[in-house]
Amino acid sequence: MTMIMTEVEVAKRDRRGRRITAAARRAELVAGYRASGMTMEQFARREGINRLTLAKWSYLESRKGAASPVRFTEVKTGLPAAPRWAFELTLPNGWMVRAADAASLAQLLSVVRS
Question: Is residue 7 in some structural domain?
Answer: no
Residues 58 and 77 in one domain: no
**Which residues, 6 or more positions from 98, have their beta carbon under 8 angstroms from its beta carbon?**
85, 87, 88, 89
Count the residues in the chain: 114
Q: What is the mean pLDDT of the chain?
A: 80
pLDDT tens track for 9-41? 567 888 888 888 889 999 999 999 999 999 999
Please tell me whether residues 33 and 55 are part of one structural domain. yes
Q: Is 18 among the domain residues?
A: no
49 in any annotated domain: yes
The helix or strand, by DSSP H or E, that contains position 97, with its residue range, turns out to be strand 96-99
Residue 15 lies inside a defined structural domain of this protein: no
114 sits in which H/E element: none
Show Cβ contacts of residue 108 under 8 Å, excluding neighbours closer than 6 positions: 75, 77, 97, 99
Residue 76, domain extent: 71-114
pLDDT band at 49 (very low <50, low <70, confident <90, very high): very high
How many domains does the chain fold into? 2
Q: What pTM value is reported for the model?
A: 0.49
- Tell whether 50 and 76 lie within a shared domain: no
CA atoms within 13 A on the CB side of 111: 15
Please indicate, yes or no, if residue 83 is contained in any of the structural domains: yes
Domain assignment of residue 105, yes or no: yes
